């Protein structure tokens, strides 16, 4: 029986028809498996494409949000710079007189109004919040654009916190001002002093002095000049946003040379590298510099001047931006006077960055009438404040002219610790001129 079965089995498997059927069946099974694998691969590919397209849609939404942000940012930055310059003009160039003119009263009232205005930048974060909750963040992991979007919204958060602190302090200082506000003196009499009769205006001079020389009012009026660090954050956010928009527009997740150049323009004080642009189109780089003005008649500098009651050689129009230039005016009447740009966003953060990589100071200047002589000055951190640092004299025309000054001319200035990258010094003779550009440059 076993022998018969072995013979039948051998005969069965040796049958050509069966072998053909078996091979066909195996082939069909292989095709089915391959088809399944291909279908799974296509599904995975489609799913990945869907995820990528979903991510791109989120990034496009964020980019549109940032478009709106940068418009708002331009507006609030311009407002803060205008407020800042108003504060600089009053706090540094007040006549220090016993009485106030109508224009001075109006100017001071406007500055108080500006100090009382609570400004807040509000970013559009709907796209970013949707992206975080979408589960598609893994698609960005480890890419340049991931780090960029995180940095952008981290900066937004820092700005919000800084502005909140700034506004909270403003509220506190304003309460101190209004608590000390004199009776029978209306605020509109300051802001609209030109509406007062001459007799009323003169009779209110003691109130003007009481308000405008009060320490609480002065602290409040100086508040707009304390936003240098905020301006630095605004500048960083603008550059981060511009870089992100470019990456989305070019459908890229890695930095190219243009994007790197945008981000390299972010000023980082911790790097201790000197900011080359001091004044551009008459606009001081307030995010990295603050202003100091002084003169021989300043009672804070000279006890003799205080005793003699000498007048300031400045008024609040001695420093003002007009169009695309910065106008400076020294009225004379002081043995010396000066206006200096100091490295650091505010007076509490004076720095001494390294400018040794530059070799030329480029200036665009124009005298009011031509023939003005001005003295250019720069000082390092170790220079004594006694006028002994190197000075470089220029004669101006009544037309715009570019001046390229070799930094080697400033022999006493150590460029590696330059705390005052630019100063204008005046000696007795009145002088008025305009500055359009002040920039450090490297030789080709």
Place 33 in a pLDDT band, splitting at 50, 70 and 90: low
pLDDT in tens, 110-131: 999 999 999 999 999 999 999 8
Contact (CB, 8 A) for 417 and 352: yes
Mean pLDDT, all residues of the chain: 89
- E strand or H helix at 303: helix 303-308
Residue 407 reports pLDDT greater than 80: yes
Of 266, 292, 315, which residue is a domain's last? 266
Within-domain flag for 389 = yes
**Residue 276 and residue 261: Cα distance in Å, rounded?**
15
Residue 284 reports pLDDT greater than 60: yes
Which structural domain, as residue segments, surrounds residue 163? Answer: 15-266
pLDDT in tens, 209-226: 999 999 999 999 999 999
Within-domain flag for 1 = no
Residue 27 reports pLDDT greater than 70: no
- Average pLDDT for 132-151: 87
**Residue 341 and residue 299: Cα distance in Å, rounded?**
21
- Does 146 share its domain with 251? yes
- Does 129 share its domain with 183? yes
Residue 269 reports pLDDT greater than 50: yes
What pLDDT is stored for residue 325 in this prediction?
Answer: 97
**Residue 428 and residue 444: Cα distance in Å, rounded?**
39
Mapped onto helix, strand or coil, the DSSP state of residue 401 is: strand
The torsion region of residue 152 among left (phi > 0), alpha (psi -120 to 50) and beta comes to: alpha
What pLDDT is stored for residue 135 in this prediction?
Answer: 78
What pLDDT is stored for residue 32 in this prediction?
Answer: 66
Burial class (CB in 10 A: 0-12, 13-18, 19+), 44: exposed
- Does 51 share its domain with 104? yes
- Average pLDDT for 250-258: 93
Torsion of CA 71, 76, 81, 86, to 10 degrees: 140
Q: Where are the alpha helices (DSSP H) in 213-333?
A: 215-221, 228-249, 257-264, 303-308
Per the listing, tokens 């008649």 go with 297
| DSSP symbols for 160-187 | HHHHHHHHHHHHHHHHHHHHTPPTT--T
Of 210, 237, 266, which residue is a domain's last? 266
- Does 391 share its domain with 421? yes
Q: What are phi and psi of 181, to 5 degrees?
A: -70, 130
**Residue 418 and residue 422: Cα distance in Å, rounded?**
10
Classify the C-alpha dihedral 281-343-108-96 as positive or negative: negative
**Residue 246 and residue 44: Cα distance in Å, rounded?**
30
Q: Write the CATH number for 313.
A: 2.60.120.430
What pLDDT is stored for residue 332 in this prediction?
Answer: 93
User: For helices 16-93 and 144-179, what crossing angle results, to 10°?
Assistant: 30
CB under 8 Å to 213, separation ≥6 — which residues?
A: none
Place 49 in a pLDDT band, splitting at 50, 70 and 90: low
Q: What are phi and psi of 346, to 5 degrees?
A: -155, 175
- Does 258 share its domain with 284? no
Query: Which stretch of 102-106, 355-359, 378-382, 387-391 has the lowest confidence by average pLDDT?
Result: 387-391
Pairing of the two strands 337-343 and 360-367? unpaired
- Does 209 share its domain with 149? yes
What pLDDT is stored for residue 391 in this prediction?
Answer: 93
Within-domain flag for 361 = yes
- Does 331 share its domain with 262? no
Within-domain flag for 8 = no
Q: Which two tokens stand for residue 364?
A: 């665009």
- Does 302 share its domain with 423? yes
Contact (CB, 8 A) for 104 and 41: no
Per the listing, tokens 């700005």 go with 159
What does the longest C-alpha to C-alpha distance in the chain come to? 142
* Nearest CA among 103, 417, 111 for reference residue 274: 417
Residue 17 reports pLDDT greater than 80: no
Pairing of the two strands 360-367 and 431-441? antiparallel
Place 55 in a pLDDT band, splitting at 50, 70 and 90: confident
Of 217, 245, 266, which residue is a domain's last? 266
- Does 326 share its domain with 427? yes
- Does 88 share its domain with 190? yes
- Does 206 share its domain with 319? no
pLDDT in tens, 154-197: 999 999 999 999 999 999 999 999 999 999 899 999 999 999 99
Q: Which two tokens stand for residue 76?
A: 């609030």
Within-domain flag for 180 = yes
What pLDDT is stored for residue 62 in this prediction?
Answer: 94
Within-domain flag for 394 = yes
128: β partners: none
Within-domain flag for 412 = yes
- Average pLDDT for 230-252: 95
Within-domain flag for 3 = no
**Residue 210 and residue 364: Cα distance in Å, rounded?**
42
Place 8 in a pLDDT band, splitting at 50, 70 and 90: very low
CB under 8 Å to 280, separation ≥6 — which residues?
A: 437, 439
CB under 8 Å to 319, separation ≥6 — which residues?
A: 88, 89, 92, 93, 291, 293, 326, 327, 328, 329, 339
pLDDT in tens, 336-385: 999 999 999 887 777 899 999 999 999 999 999 999 999 999 999 999 88
- Does 191 share its domain with 299? no
Please give the tally of structural domains in the chain: 2
Q: What percent of the chain has pLDDT over 70?
A: 87
- Average pLDDT for 273-288: 95
Contact (CB, 8 A) for 147 and 137: no
What pLDDT is stored for residue 113 in this prediction?
Answer: 96
**Residue 289 and residue 344: Cα distance in Å, rounded?**
5
């Amino acid at each position: 029986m076993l022998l018969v079965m072995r013979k039948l089995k051998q005969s069965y498997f040796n049958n050509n028809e069966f072998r053909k059927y078996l091979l066909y069946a195996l082939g069909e099974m292989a095709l089915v498996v391959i088809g399944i694998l291909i279908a799974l691969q296509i599904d995975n590919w489609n799913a990945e494409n869907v995820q990528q397209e979903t991510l791109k849609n989120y990034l496009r939404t964020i980019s549109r949000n940032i478009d709106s942000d940068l418009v708002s940012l331009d507006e609030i930055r311009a407002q803060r710079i205008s407020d800042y310059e108003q504060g600089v003009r009053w706090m540094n160039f007040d006549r220090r007189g016993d009485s106030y003119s109508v224009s001075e009263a109006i100017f001071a009232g406007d500055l108080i109004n500006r100090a009382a205005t609570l400004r807040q930048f509000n970013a559009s974060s709907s796209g970013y919040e949707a992206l975080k909750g979408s589960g598609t963040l893994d698609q960005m992991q480890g890419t340049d654009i991931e780090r960029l979007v995180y940095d952008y919204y981290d900066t937004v958060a820092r700005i919000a916190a800084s502005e909140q602190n700034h506004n909270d302090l403003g509220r506190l200082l304003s309460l101190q001002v209004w608590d000390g506000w004199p009776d029978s003196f209306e605020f509109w009499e300051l802001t609209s002093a030109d509406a007062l009769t001459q007799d009323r205006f003169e009779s209110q001079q003691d109130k003007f002095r009481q308000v405008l020389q009060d320490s609480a009012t002065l602290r409040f009026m100086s508040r707009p000049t304390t936003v240098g660090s905020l301006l630095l954050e605004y500048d960083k956010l603008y550059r981060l946003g511009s870089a992100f928009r470019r990456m989305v527009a070019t459908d890229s997740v890695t930095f190219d040379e243009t994007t790197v150049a945008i981000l390299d323009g972010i000023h980082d004080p911790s790097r201790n590298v000197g900011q080359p642009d001091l004044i551009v189109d008459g606009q001081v780089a307030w995010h990295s510099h603050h202003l100091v003005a002084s003169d021989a008649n300043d009672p804070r500098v000279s006890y003799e001047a205080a005793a003699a009651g000498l007048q300031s050689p400045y008024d609040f129009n001695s420093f003002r931006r007009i169009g695309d230039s910065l106008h400076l005016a020294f009225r004379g009447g002081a043995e010396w006077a000066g206006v200096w740009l100091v490295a650091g966003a505010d007076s509490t953060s004076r720095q001494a960055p390294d400018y040794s990589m530059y070799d030329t100071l480029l200036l665009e200047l124009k005298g009011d009438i031509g023939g003005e002589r001005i003295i250019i000055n720069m000082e390092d951190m170790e220079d004594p404040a006694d006028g002994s640092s190197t000075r470089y004299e220029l004669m101006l025309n009544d037309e715009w002219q570019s001046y390229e000054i070799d930094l080697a001319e400033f022999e006493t200035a150590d460029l590696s610790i330059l705390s005052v990258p630019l100063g204008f010094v005046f000696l007795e003779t009145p002088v008025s001129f305009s500055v359009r550009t002040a920039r450090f440059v490297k030789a080709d």
